[in-house]
Amino acid sequence: MTGKLNLFLSGILMSASQAIAAGQTPFPSEVGETGCIIEQITNSKNPEYQVQGVSWDGKWFTYGEEIGEGAHGIPDKKVYLLDLASGEKKVLPGAMKNSGGFSPDGRFIVGAFRRESERTDIYEFNLETEELKPIAQHDHWDWLPSYSPDGSTIVFNSYRIDGQSQIFLYDRESEALRQMTDFPGYDAHAEFSPDGTKILFHRMMARKEQGGYDFELFVIDIESGEETQLTPGSDFEESYASWAPDGQHVVFSSDRDGKPEKHNLYILGPDGEIVSRLTKGDWKDSYAFWTRDGKHIYFNSDRNGDQNIYRIPMDGLDCHKSL
């Protein structure tokens, strides 16, 4: 990252390097109900959230905060860039309207921004120039973009075909668009596998009579287009998944305790069986993101009453269990 962010970045490099050398974290920690250490990354009384918000080198974090009601009842938002070693943060320019994911080279953030029409479009924000570039604009809603491991492609979901949410790939060089799913329903929250050959996403199968939804996790092979269902099928919501660095396991959110809208985090193995449970409680833990270096799982949660962001330190498939 260069350009207008140089002053901010250079000003905190000293404290960041000192924190790394000391093995310290600037965030408060506690031991959760399953024994996993849980660190609280943000603590505003305003709703805060992230979507795949950690840079590929694990040093930076981007997240959004709702700061009040704007036009048409749509919340006004601030987007922050947070140094994960020092805990220092900077508000990104007002052109940034939502949290998003980093490009592999750390030069861009891609996100879905709500426009004056109240729909959302995909935009790339250049951290060096602070310029915005629209991605595959359309009259219908686009959501939840992220980059391929080589940075050449952006995956997102869009309602542009018959009003159904489908998964699309956007080639950044040619600007060509490829539709990956055609399920007559809701496909969303896509993420490339670590080797870039597959896409993980969730699919809404039904609405549950007692409230909530039945979601299942799927993987699609990019070359062949073949789909594979990861979760074995149940009445629970199994959603908002993210790949482990090994490309075999995933972390996901589920209400399998039988309480709709009360979600906890689990790790799923390649055979469709639960490997471990990371969180337990009557709250909503969601939008888990396993960092590319495998060291943390970040997630959104209302576990303390406010919607904030947390992370679990990881060692392979095991969470850290001592402060």
Alpha-carbon distance of 155 to 192, in angstroms, equals 8
Counting Cβ atoms within 10 Å, is residue 104 exposed (0-12), middle (13-18) or buried (19+)? middle
> What confidence tens digit (pLDDT) does each residue in 50-95 have?
999 999 999 999 999 998 776 666 778 899 999 999 999 999 998 8
Strand partners, 155: 146, 169
Q: For the chain, give the percent of residues with pLDDT over 90.
A: 80
Residue with the bigger pLDDT between 137 and 118: it is 137
> What confidence tens digit (pLDDT) does each residue in 244-303 have?
999 999 999 999 998 888 999 999 999 999 999 999 999 999 999 999 999 999 999 999
Stretch 240-245: mean pLDDT = 98
> What confidence tens digit (pLDDT) does each residue in 205-232 have?
998 877 788 999 999 999 999 999 999 8
Band of pLDDT at residue 21, cut at 50, 70 and 90 = very low
User: Where are the chain's structural domains?
Assistant: 193-323
CATH code for 193-323?
2.120.10.30
Cβ contacts of 70 within 8 Å, gap of 6 or more: 76
- Cα 306 to its chain centre, rounded Å, is 19
Band of pLDDT at residue 151, cut at 50, 70 and 90 = very high
Indicate the average pLDDT of the chain.
91
